[in-house]
Amino acid sequence: MSVRALLWWLPAGAIALLASPPLRHALETSMTAQMLLQLPLLAVLGGLLAAALPTHVRTALARWDQGGCSGLLLASVTSLLWMLPRALDAGVDLPWVAGAKFLSLPLLVGMPLALSWPRMGFVLRGVVCMEAIASCFRLGWLFLATPQQLCSNYLLGDQQRLGYALLAIGGGVFVLLLGRLIGGRWTLPAGEARRPR
Amino acid sequence: MAALTLYPESERLPRGERITFNLYMISALLLFVLMMVLGVIMRMGQSLWLDVPPDLFYQVLSMHGAGMVGTMSLATTAVMWFFLRKYVRLHLWAFLANYLLFLCGALCIIGAVFVGRYAGLWTFLYPLPTHAMGMWGNGAAACFMVGYLFIGVGSLLFYLDAAAAIIGRYGNLGRAMGLQWLFGGTIDPDHPKAVVASTMVVIANSLGILAGAVVLVMYLVAIAYPEFTMNALYAKNLTYWFGHMYINATIYMGVMAVYELLARYSGRPYAISRPFLWSWAASCVFVIVVFPHHLLMDYAQPRWVAVTGQVVSYLAGFPVFLVTVWGALTNIHRSGMRWSTPSRLLILSMFGWAAGILPAILDGTIGINRVMHNTQWVPGHFHFYLLLGVLPMVLALLYHVIGSRRAAPPDSGADRLGVPVYLIGGMTFALAFLDAGHMSVARRMSSHLAEWIPNDRVGAIGASLVLLAMVYFAVRIIHGLLRAPGAESTAHAAG
């Protein structure tokens, strides 16, 4: 088996494994596990799938993805859908929505983001990171402050646990990024300024 | 070791950059005049010289506050860009994007206030914007928040571009701030002070914008889903983290004009030093965590947060202020300073900053805050340092720029008269507020007691003088900016 085939089959197999009833059940029994483990894992595996794309496909896609904007837009819109509590519920209850979840997160979030990230400049990457951190804080706050349960499948306690976890993740990523900006070593994306005038 | 450069390289702007810089500054000058007109209307209304209905007063107060903070940020962002671009490669698109997003935000805010009748003030406090008791609709409140989001995103784009450029040149933000020289080593005397200050602003204000991005969207959620209620204290903390950082950043962006221009007029290098680097590093930390001094009256706030607010208030402003004023005074002492309008404005800005910071520090003391915070002492302090500190820094740069385009410093009789009129008007106006604070005159009130009106009238006269001088400065500078650039003066040695 070639390396490319391995790069394709390993993530695809892992996605199939995540969709298998025991693992799916384990990750969908709590809101926290679904949002913080299952959904990100599917996106990461989609990102790994991007490495298996043939060069001519990547070149063709690059023409439609100047500066990484198109891929980012596609990934953002798709992620937006999976942030809705109603979508989380439907992903558990309705088989066709579950199918859409297992396909859309790898193919419409992880893969486009992995393809677009190297094309993005520092500014766009910074906006993505800031928005991700802000979203963690907003959703965390929302889940903690909302008096009623937002998903019919998950109890209020689970929702509030997720809220705390999101605040912690937002804070952790923020501290790491700030530390790296102030004291880290940087390799800027191609095309960024490296010299004074 | 590199030589100490007295005059860094040429400041001549290429065509695209000149047009964008002019757009920023002409818009800012026009907005300053308009916002000052609103301010004069309010003081005239309190003086009973003008009939201003209360609902209109609070709309005008909301517009004046949001407009002045936004405009001050717009103008000082241009100051930062003007100097930072000499040392690192900034992208014009980011600078222009900030301007365009500012315009979108300004339109939203103007629409929210004058069409939607929003009157919840620029420091909107939950749940006021969403519980207007029929005074304005939720749409207007949402439009106001979206306006802030536009302005914040614009600033963020500019800061990220600045961060990329600074990191590209210096490796990381820590090195750009000179942290490697805090405890030893030979400081590069040519390390630009504008880079140190810009890096501090990028770090501190990006955090403030992050806080704003969280709380503003939560307000929008609360507007869309009224059953969702936020913790009002969390909302207030984040609102003030955003608002406090945003307006404080204007000082730190504006002061680059002092660092970069003073040496041109004194003819003496303005050296960088270890205390300078220490003060900027310390202020970077303290200015981020000082915002609780706005919440000293909130009894529900944990005591340790209030104490932090007080202690850090003493530490946050002083380091940079001391090294800047000390550095400026030693720079001009016996230097044979060439006095012209830009140099007068620079020195005025040092005075305004120095004098304006004192009432702020007093108000940051818990015991004094309990008595003074809801009085006009507070508008007294921030009008003092913004009007007589930050705005003169911007005007000094603009006078310098129009002078450099004419290869001669602008210093006509009218200019020489304009500065003292502005100073006397500004002092009268700000001192009237501070005296009103001493008399316990409540702030943010459209109608005043009869005993307070003489004080209001003094303030109105001072505000009118400031407006008069500002109209002159605006006309003079806009005319100068719109003239085709002439030959660049030789490193502005003559100012």
Alpha helices (H) in A105-185, listed in sequence order: 111-116, 122-145, 156-183
> Which of B86, B177, B217 best tests the A interface by mutation, with the highest count of A CBs <10 A?
B217
Q: Is B132 helix (H, G, I), strand (E, B) or coil?
A: coil
Name the interface residues of A facing B (CB cutoff 8 Å): 121-123, 126-127, 130-131, 133-134, 137-138, 141-142, 145-148, 174, 178, 180-186, 188, 192-197
- Contact criterion met (CB < 8 Å) for A188 and B172: no
The Cα B370–Cα B366 span in angstroms is 6
Selection from B433, B62, B32, B69 nearest residue B244 by Cα = B69
In chain B, what is the greatest distance between 2 CA atoms, to the nearest angstrom? 67
Amino acid at B286: F
> How near does any CA of chain A get to the CA of B203, in Å?
8
pLDDT digits (tens, 9 = 90+) for A17-72: 988 989 999 989 999 999 999 999 999 999 999 888 888 888 888 888 888 899 99
> How near does any CA of chain B get to the CA of A28, in Å?
26
**CB under 8 Å to B41, separation ≥6 — which residues?**
B50, B52, B60
> How near does any CA of chain A get to the CA of B201, in Å?
13
- Contact criterion met (CB < 8 Å) for A197 and B85: yes
pLDDT tier at B490, thresholds 50, 70, 90: very low
pLDDT digits (tens, 9 = 90+) for B355-408: 888 888 888 888 888 888 889 999 999 999 999 999 999 999 999 988 877 666
The Cα B168–Cα B313 span in angstroms is 34
> Which of A129, A131, A141 best tests the B interface by mutation, with the highest count of B CBs <10 A?
A141
pLDDT reported for residue B462:
96
List chain B residues with CB under 8 Å of A192.
164, 168
Where along chain A do its domains lie? 3-183
Q: What is the CA radius of gyration of chain A?
A: 18
The Cα B244–Cα B265 span in angstroms is 33
Selection from B346, B365, B281, B361 nearest residue B319 by Cα = B281
Selection from B372, B362, B382 nearest residue B430 by Cα = B382
The Cα B433–Cα A105 span in angstroms is 58
pLDDT reported for residue B316:
76
Dihedral sign for Cα atoms in the order B109, B113, B118, B121: positive
As a whole number, mean pLDDT of residues B100-124 equals 92
The Cα A71–Cα A128 span in angstroms is 12
pLDDT reported for residue B202:
96
pTM of the model: 0.91
As a whole number, mean pLDDT of residues B323-349 equals 86
How many angstroms separate the Cα of A140 from the Cα of each of A105, A132, B35, B309, B373?
21, 12, 38, 26, 33
Classified by CATH at the fold level, domain B15-482 comes out as Cytochrome C Oxidase; Chain A (1.20.210)
Complete DSSP assignment for B27-58: HHHHHHHHHHHHHHHHHHHHTTSS---HHHHH
Residue B147 has pLDDT above 90, yes or no: yes
The Cα A11–Cα A13 span in angstroms is 5
**For residue B234, how many other CB atoms are within 10 A of its CB?**
16
Tell me what percent of the residues of chain B surpass a pLDDT of 90: 59
CB burial of residue B9 (10 Å; 0-12, 13-18, 19+): exposed
- CA angle (B124, B127, B131) in 5-degree steps: 105
Name the interface residues of B facing A (CB cutoff 8 Å): 9, 85-91, 94, 156-157, 160-161, 163-165, 167-169, 171-174, 177, 179, 203, 206, 209-210, 213-214, 217-218, 221, 227-231, 234
Where along chain B do its domains lie? 15-482
Residues of chain A with pLDDT under 70: 1, 188-197
> How near does any CA of chain B get to the CA of A53, in Å?
31
**DSSP 8-class letter at A68:** G
Selection from A62, A76, A79 nearest residue A116 by Cα = A62
pLDDT tier at B7, thresholds 50, 70, 90: low
pLDDT tier at B5, thresholds 50, 70, 90: low
